[in-house]
Amino acid sequence: MSLSAEDDSRLREYLSQCRLEQVVTIALCGPRGAGKLSLLRRRSTGMLDDDDDDQLNRSLWQKREYLHGAWFFVRWTTHTKAKETADTTHSDRIALRGHVAEADGCLLVYDAASKDSLVGLRQLYETIHEPLHVGDKRKPVVVVANKVDLVRETEELALREGIAFAKSIDSILIKASAKDAIGFDDMLVEIVSRVVLSWISRTDEL
């Protein structure tokens, strides 16, 4: 994980004083087909694709997680639930902004084997700029390059550009593959840690 030793100890100290389970809501945002649902599904059911109705499958969307010596109740949301809805429709953008506004943090997922997917993610980031900000502070964000199993060494451009994008928005990139079950734990720990640190900063400011 990318936390400094100082942040790590602040986080552990804060959590050691919390008696109750911490509820964290994370928005999974990203262009169509990036693998948002597959990442969640793979983690919960061990499957990549499934015919069951994922939207009704509560175990997919909320899960207890033990991180940094504390229990969290993690709720996931995503904006592209209606398969027939195109990315660019007005209602999709409204849904996307709504999810981001309600979330404590965001995972920005794109398909690491597709330059178009990264272009889509950049556009999406512009769309969520407003709900992502609370006053002059931005909610925690982590970029996830999914489908790294499809990236060959000779065509790593979308991955390298993804790292540059993550840096440009003051974030980090985590490599993941829902297919090979890689990266989910890392992205979970990273985003939840950043969310808790944002709570600590807010408390410190009061």
Ligand X SMILES: Nc1nc2c(ncn2[C@@H]2O[C@H](COP(=O)(O)OP(=O)(O)OP(=O)(O)O)[C@@H](O)[C@H]2O)c(=O)[nH]1
* Residues found near ligand X in the complex (CB under 6 A): 30, 32-38, 48-49, 80, 146-147, 149-150, 177-179
CA atoms within 13 A on the CB side of 206: 5
The minimum distance between CB 184 and ligand X, in angstroms, equals 10
CA angle at residue 114 from 122 to 195, to 5 degrees? 45
- Answer for the pair 140, 106: CB distance below 8 angstroms, yes or no: yes
Instruction: Name the residue nearer to ligand X (CB basis): 56 or 206.
Output: 56
Max CA-CA distance within the chain?
Answer: 51
Instruction: Name the residue nearer to ligand X (CB basis): 92 or 190.
Output: 92
Instruction: Name the residue nearer to ligand X (CB basis): 85 or 198.
Output: 85
The minimum distance between CB 148 and ligand X, in angstroms, equals 7
- Answer for the pair 15, 9: CB distance below 8 angstroms, yes or no: no
Instruction: Name the residue nearer to ligand X (CB basis): 6 or 84.
Output: 84
The minimum distance between CB 61 and ligand X, in angstroms, equals 13
Instruction: Name the residue nearer to ligand X (CB basis): 33 or 140.
Output: 33
Residue with smallest beta-carbon separation from ligand X = 35
- Answer for the pair 112, 147: CB distance below 8 angstroms, yes or no: yes
Report helix, strand or coil for 114: coil
- Answer for the pair 175, 159: CB distance below 8 angstroms, yes or no: yes
The minimum distance between CB 201 and ligand X, in angstroms, equals 31
Place of tokens 């997680």: 65
Instruction: Name the residue nearer to ligand X (CB basis): 7 or 87.
Output: 87
The minimum distance between CB 79 and ligand X, in angstroms, equals 8
- Residue 46: φ, ψ to 5°: 80, 0
CA distances from 16 to 10, 66, 138, 154 (A): 10, 13, 26, 46
d(CA 93, CA 96): 5
The minimum distance between CB 137 and ligand X, in angstroms, equals 27
